[in-house]
A and B are shown apart, each in its own frame.
Chain A
Amino acid sequence: MRTRLRVLRAEKEWSQADLADAVGVTRQCINAVETGKYEPGLDLAFKIARIFGKNVEEVFLYEESETSSGRQ
Chain B
Amino acid sequence: MSTLPGPQYSKKRRKITLRMFYVFVLLASGTFIMADKASQPAQGALFTLGIGLAGVGIWSFLGFLKVADTHQRLINHEATSFAFVGSLLLTLAVGILQRFGFLSGISLLVPALMIALWSIGLFVFSWRYQE
Contacting pair B70 A41 (CB below 8 A):
yes
With an 8 Å Cβ cutoff, the count of chain A residues facing the other chain is 23
Shortest CB–CB separation between residue B6 and chain A, in angstroms? 7
Shortest CB–CB separation between residue B8 and chain A, in angstroms? 4
Q: Which residues of B contact A43 (CB under 8 A)?
A: 70
Question: A7 contacts the other chain (Cβ, under 8 Å)?
Answer: no
Instruction: Specify which of A24, A28, A41 is in contact with B7 (CB 8 Å cutoff).
Output: A24
Contacting pair B129 A51 (CB below 8 A):
no
Question: B93 contacts the other chain (Cβ, under 8 Å)?
Answer: no
Interface positions, chain B 34-71, Cβ under 8 Å from A, are: 69-71
Q: Is the contact region of chain B dominated by helix, strand, or loop, or is it mixed?
A: loop
Q: Which residues of B contact A19 (CB under 8 A)?
A: 4
Question: A62 contacts the other chain (Cβ, under 8 Å)?
Answer: no
Q: Which residues of B contact A41 (CB under 8 A)?
A: 70
Contacting pair B130 A31 (CB below 8 A):
yes
Q: Which residues of A contact B4 (CB under 8 A)?
A: 14, 18-19, 21-22, 51
Interface positions, chain A 1-52, Cβ under 8 Å from B, are: 12-14, 18-19, 21-26, 28-29, 31-32, 35, 37-38, 40-41, 43-44, 51
Determine the distance from Cα of A40 to Cα of B72 in the docked complex, in whole angstroms: 12
Interface core residue of B5, B6, B70 (most chain A CB under 10 Å): B70
Question: B108 contacts the other chain (Cβ, under 8 Å)?
Answer: no
Q: Sorted from nearest, which 5 A-B pairs have the closest CB atoms? A: A29-B71, A13-B1, A25-B69, A32-B129, A24-B9
List 8 A-B residue pairs with CB atoms under 8 Å apart, sorted by A's residue number.
Answer: A13-B2, A21-B6, A22-B8, A24-B8, A29-B69, A31-B129, A40-B70, A44-B69
